[in-house]
Structure 1
Amino acid sequence: MLPHPLGLFLLVAGAAVLCVSVTTPLHSFRGCAVREFSFVAQKPGCKGLHITTEACWGRCHTWERPIPEPPYIHRHHRVCTYSRIRHMTARLPGCQPNVSALYHYPMALHCHCAACSTQDTECETF
């Protein structure tokens, strides 16, 4: 069976080894790269804070192969994920006295196509 691309994955992560040229149409880009990403950091007891960081972004090839015994299919799913990160910390505003204002998040230094690890990534399938 030929490899087929997975859907788009966006994972909070930092600096690029592979850059996507401004002239490259994003809908046709294949591979894994670092891209700017913004989100609102939130936790109970604090106000939200808008953070701009770097994230892994892209499409990776994957494949499935039928096998004669259960589970009848062998899956090899790869996603665009961190290969190196920098740990970042932000201070959330308006926190209640008993709540720590510190918010920790990763910033990618390099991204690659690899098996999804639930230790640092939300592994979702479409």
Structure 2
Amino acid sequence: MTLQWRPGPTPSCRLLLLLLLGISLQPDPHVSAVNLRRFIGCAVREFTFLAKKPGCGGLHITTDACWGRCETWEKPVLEPPFIESYQRVCTYNETRLVTVKLPNCQPGMDPTYTYPVALRCDCGVCLTSTTECITSV
């Protein structure tokens, strides 16, 4: 067997180098290109909270939740109630439920904890069946 010197990389090596270069130039999927301070709309975003209930220890959970700002306005009118309003909130459009077990539960306590995972979010009317809505001040 004789070794032959070639000037430059082989075609398969060139392909591998181009592939690696292409991957390295891809944007990081964890870095958002959206300026969140100026974002108007509703989107799914990762969120961490402490799940707890009486008789059990807490558990930090990272899930997808709805986040954003939606168009809202009020204008005066001459008829009661003297204000016409258009109020939308960023809320769940589609979810799935996930159940976990909380740690260190006292004997006889149910350790299960169920929470929603956002699959799709939209600006919509606030429904008290799924969202904590402030209706009066």
The normalised TM-score by structure 2 is 0.72
Displacement, 1:100? 0.7
Q: Deviations over 1:14-57 (max 9, x none)?
A: xxxxxxx7222110111111100000001011000010000101
2:92 to 66, 72, 82: 82
**Would you tell me which structure has more helix in proportion to its own residues?**
2
User: For 2:108 and 2:83, how far apart are their aligned partners in 1?
Assistant: 50
Higher mean Cα deviation, 42-51 or 56-65?
56-65
Partner of 2:25: none
CA–CA distance in structure 1, aligned partners of residues 72 and 53 of structure 2: 35
- Equivalenced residue count is 108
**Alpha-carbon offset, residue 68 of structure 1:** 2.1
Is the counterpart of residue 39 in structure 1 residue 46 in structure 2?
Answer: no
Query: What are the ranges of 5 or more consecutive residues in structure 2 without an aligned counterpart?
Result: 1-30
TM-score norm. by structure 1 comes to 0.78
Gaps of 5+ in 1: 1-20
Secondary structure of the corresponding residue to residue 54 of structure 1: strand
Amino acid at match of 2:95: I
CA distance in 2 between partners of 1:37 and 1:124 (Å)? 22
Supply the distance in 2 between the matched residues of 1:70 and 1:44 (Cα, whole angstroms). Answer: 46
- 2:74 is matched with 64
Percent identity reads 57
Q: 1:49 aligns with which of 46, 56, 59?
A: 59
Q: Residue 101 of structure 2 aligns to which amino acid in structure 1?
A: R
Q: Runs of 4+ in structure 1 displaced over 6 angstroms?
A: none
Partner residue in 1 for 2:106 = 96
| Structure with more of its chain in strand, by fraction | 1
In structure 2, C-alpha distance between the alignment counterparts of 1:45 and 1:70, rounded to whole Å: 50
The residue number in structure 1 matching 2:121 is 111
SS of match in other structure, 1:26? coil
Which of 26, 37, 51 matches 1:27? 37
Distance (Å, rounded) in 1 between the aligned partners of 2:53 and 2:128: 21
Structure 2 Cα separation of the partners of residues 98 and 73 of structure 1: 53
Pick 1 or 2: higher relative contact order, CA cutoff 8 A, min separation 6: 1
Please tell me whether Structure 1 or Structure 2 has the larger radius of gyration of its CA atoms: 2
User: Secondary structure, in 3 states, of the residue corresponding to 2:37?
Assistant: helix
